[in-house]
């Protein structure tokens, strides 16, 4: 059984973010959108990585958020279809609040 953990996203995640985005949305963000958001000063992204027993890791979810005044605005969240209904999205939201 795979285990998962939440970490901040990095530029090295852009390919995996783009791939997951394309699987989850009819009108997906492009690579440039991810690059811009990761470079933003007031925005952040957390990703969920699943680790298989063999040690392989896969990016299975993400959440983009932005700080506006004293609030956190969540503006993009995705969970890989095969990983849904396991509380991953809720964990991501909790991590950002």
CATH number at residue 8: 3.40.630.30
Per residue in 9-24, pLDDT (tens digit) is: 999 999 999 999 999 9
Sign of CA dihedral 8, 30, 93, 59: negative
Do β-strands 71-79 and 57-68 pair in parallel, antiparallel, or remain unpaired? Answer: antiparallel
* Residue 9 CB-half CA count within 13 A: 30
pLDDT value at residue 21: 96
pTM: 0.89
Backbone angles phi, psi at 28, to 5 degrees: -75, 155
In terms of residue numbers, what domain contains 40? 3-96
Question: In whole angstroms, what is the distance from residue 19 CA to residue 97 CA?
Answer: 26
**CA-only gyration radius of the chain, Å:** 13
Domains: count for the chain? 1
**Quick check: 40 pLDDT over 90?**
no
**Quick check: 51 pLDDT over 90?**
no
């Amino acid at each position: 059984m795979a285990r998962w953990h939440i970490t901040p996203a990095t530029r090295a995640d852009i390919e995996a973010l783009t791939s997951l985005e394309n699987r989850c949305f009819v009108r997906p963000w492009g690579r440039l959108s991810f690059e811009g958001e990761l470079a933003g000063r007031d925005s952040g992204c957390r990703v969920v990585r699943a680790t298989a027993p063999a040690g392989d890791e896969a990016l299975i979810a993400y959440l983009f958020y932005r700080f506006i005044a004293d609030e956190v605005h969540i503006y993009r969240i995705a969970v890989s279809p095969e990983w849904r209904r396991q509380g991953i999205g809720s964990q991501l939201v909790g991590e950002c609040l």
